[in-house]
Structure 1
Amino acid sequence: MIDLFAGCGGMTSGFMAAKGFKPVMSVEFDLHAAATYAANFGESHTCHADIASIPNEEIPQVDLIIGGPPCQGFSNLGSRNVNDPRNKLWKEYIRFVRHATPKVFVIENVDRFFSSSEFALLQAEAQPGGLLENYELSSGFLLAADFGVPQRRKRTIVIGSRIGRIPLPASTHARPGTLDVMPAWHTTHDVLSGLPETPATTELPASSVEFFGKDVPGIFKSSDLHIGRNPTPLSLERYRHIPPGGGRFDLPDHLLSRCWREKKSGTTDVMGRMRWDMPSLTIRTEFFKPEKGQYLHPQWEQNSDGHSVDRPITHWEAARLQSFPDDFQWCGTKLQIAKQIGNAVPPMLAEAIARHLKPYLRGNSQRTHKTATCRLCR
């Protein structure tokens, strides 16, 4: 397989966990994300490069292409102007599909992509005369929590196939109390309980490693990412008022910022606290800032002598909520690693997609297989 716009390798991690998939090329422009990918899966097949710089003759023939090209600019794909910077990255993804001739390709993108004009143009390219006319497309939303990820992350998934239409995978987990025949969603408690409540440091270890002829910070173990912050007294006081599932609307007036006081609706997850009994909301790139979303640690007790953990989640905790295994390795600064974590496809979601695709890629005419138990259920 080829992984395009590979980031730190969340999608490759999931496909390799499903067994039977071999990455022969990955492409990632960001140096530190590419270094993280190389640290986990090998530097020899990792291209730290602008995807447009890779000539057609260097694109290998593969069974599968995976990746999440940015959606900006795809609206001009129909002009087929390869020099238009607004559609460059989408155009490059399709260029790889046309030259690698995979049996299947998988695209992951944000949920709003599904209702965009860009998505409509992608569908048009799979019609007769289009750039993807040999492929049948299946598309829809997948919720990461429905596949064992302890996170309510909703994403658009597109499966393109030239070996017959392949539907999206069926859920393997369900909201607690809704379907007794399935395991319940995994919760923050499943992955955060047992980790040290007080991080021992606010900094990553001082170390560096060379990838692609350049020095980058790393390689860091997941436990190295259990790093705290130094919140102000005002921030700490705000944190103490937020119950599980709550947010800025739980703050008394004297602790509200002016913008919060004047904005009476919306942004309900701002300054939010997670719940032990539910998956987290979407982990974004600034999960270490409670003012950006529901990122406060779920432990909270209201009484004066109660036990509360009044801090945002750490990088390690965010990686666990994204379903990265603890043996995953990381490169980059704190900010760069946070960006890698927030932008990644959750490996367990990718693994579920990979297991679903295996019988199709192997040519199993029955298209049936036993669904493997997810890592957190084992």
Structure 2
Amino acid sequence: MTEPLTMIDLFAGCGGMTAGFVRTGRYKPTMAVEWNLHAAATYAANFGEDHMRWGDIAEIKDSEIPRADVVIGGPPCQGFSNLGSRDVNDPRNKLWKEYIRFVLRAQPKVFVIENVDRFRSSSEFALLLKEVEPGGLLEGYKLQHAHMLAADYGVPQRRVRTIVIGSRVGTIPIPAQTHARDLTLDDVDQELQPWRTVRDAIDGLPKVPATTDLPDSSETFFGQVVPGIFKGLDIHLGRRPTSMSLERYNHIPPGGGRFNLPDHLLPNCWRNKKSGTTDVMGRMVWDRPSLTIRTEFFKPEKGQYLHPQWDADDAGKRVNRPITHYEAARLQDFPEDYRWCGSKIQIARQIGNAVPVGLAAAIARHLLKYL
């Protein structure tokens, strides 16, 4: 192959999936669609504004959709997510039909859908499966689907996603894992590598962030002025926790959480809840992958987001803060020099909603054998 494979990214967000495909050096994005301005600006800052369409995907005419070798994307998942309403009538659940419209117009050899793990048990997924049957809109494509754990593909994060691969160039299986938790002799024979860890991703970054604020800068994309462009340590941002929060953080060892807090530091909502939400107020572990990085990773009360540095005997060697935006991006496997646009909250949402770059890259490399 000498010519790059052309690619369309739908519901592209800040470009995590495109970043993974581009990482292989074999794919060229020719169109991307994203409705959120700041996410679209982040995508454009990294891959170019010329092919990014900022706006409602339903407003793009059939005649504007180019042919492409590959179509990728993750329709909004809130309706399927365990954290969402799981309302089958949620209009966001219908956006996968727009995805199919693009597939029909672009006529890709392969398409890839990424979504939350619960997607495989949804009514929308059942309808998708029917579309590849004789007489369906996607007749001629063969579907393979599975849950993929990002850590099994070189991402320092235990994030499970549904991956669907549709192919009209023969059946394409789900990629075999490349990394494993506890390597055995059989794993070594299969050339599996050990899971990457929090240490691999963020060790060496400043323990005390230099600032709590983004630099005062802006850029224009799509005729709109947005905060940015930020990269690297620009988004290594601290917070201003209360004295109560700092006291709570100080009691949490690596792998621990709210159950490590003494009674006098427990809010009533936790004191009265004796089970569940075990990762709340949790501290990461240096030599394990992180748990799922969500959109509010800067709030320890939302999950296992405290910095992993902790010493049982020396309180002075503890890092009592949540991870920063930059650390979260590194745990999502974004490149060190990735560029970001938006406010602190907007960038956090982009990071938490993104496809882990290494997971996308593993899928992209796997597809090359069939394309």
What interval of TM-score do these two structures reach, taking the shorter chain for normalisation?
over 0.9
Give the partner amino acid of 1:91. K
User: Aligned partners of 1:86, 1:182: CA distance in 2, in Å?
Assistant: 38
Q: How high is the TM-score relative to the length of structure 1?
A: 0.91
Q: Rate the CA distance shift 1:117–1:85 in 2: closer, same or farther, 3 A.
A: closer
> What residue number does 1:224 align with?
234
Q: Do structure 1's residue 138 and structure 2's residue 148 form an aligned pair?
A: no
Q: Give SS of 1:23's match.
A: strand
Deviation at 1:283, TM superposition (A): 0.2
Which letter maps to 1:17? Answer: R
Partner SS for 1:112: helix
Structure 2 match to 1:166: 172
- Tell me, what secondary structure is at the counterpart of 2:72? strand
> Is the counterpart of residue 238 in structure 1 residue 248 in structure 2?
yes
CA change 1:275–1:96 in 2 (3 A) is same
Any unmatched runs of 5+ in structure 1?
A: 75-83, 362-378
Letter aligned with residue 13 of structure 1: A
Tell me the equivalent position of 2:3. Answer: none
Native 8 Å contact 1:222 1:330 kept in 2: no
User: What pairs with 1:66-145 in structure 2 (closer than 5 Å)?
Assistant: 66-71=72-77, 85=91, 88-145=94-151
Partner of 1:370: none
Letter in 2 for 1:90: W
Output the CA distance in 2 between the equivalents of 1:250 and 1:305: 16
Cα offset for 1:112?
A: 1.0
Encode CA deviations 1:191-248: one digit per residue, 9 max, x unaligned: 1110000001000000000000000000001210000000000000000000100000
Counting strand residues as a fraction of each chain, which structure ranks higher?
2
Residue number in structure 1 paired with 2:352: 342
Between the aligned partners of 1:85 and 1:252, the Cα distance in structure 2 is 44
* Residues 258 and 200 (structure 1), Cα distance of their counterparts in 2 relative to 1, 3 Å cut: same
For 1:47, what is the secondary structure of its paired residue? strand
CA contact (8 A) 1:145 1:279 kept: yes
Where does residue 41 of structure 1 map in the other structure? Answer: 47
Q: How far apart in 2 are the matches of 1:23 and 1:44?
A: 10
Task: Report the number of matched residues.
Answer: 352
Q: Distance in 1 between matches of 2:161 and 2:29?
A: 23
User: Is 1:295 matched up with 2:305?
Assistant: yes
Q: Is the 8 A contact 2:34 2:56 kept in 1?
A: yes
State the distance in 2 between where 1:164 and 1:151 align: 31
**5+ residue gaps, structure 2:** 1-6, 81-89
Note the C-alpha offset of 1:336: 0.3
TM-score by length of 2: 0.93
Aligned residue for 2:321?
311
Quick check: 256-265 or 296-305, which moved more?
296-305
Q: Measure, in 1, the Cα distance between the counterparts of 2:236 and 2:285.
A: 20
1:188 to 2:177 alignment:
no
**8 A Cα contact 1:71 1:90, kept in partner:** no
Structure 2 residue aligned with 1:252 = 262
- Equivalences for 1:324-335 in 2 at 5 Å? 324-335=334-345
> Does residue 368 of structure 2 align to residue 358 of structure 1?
yes
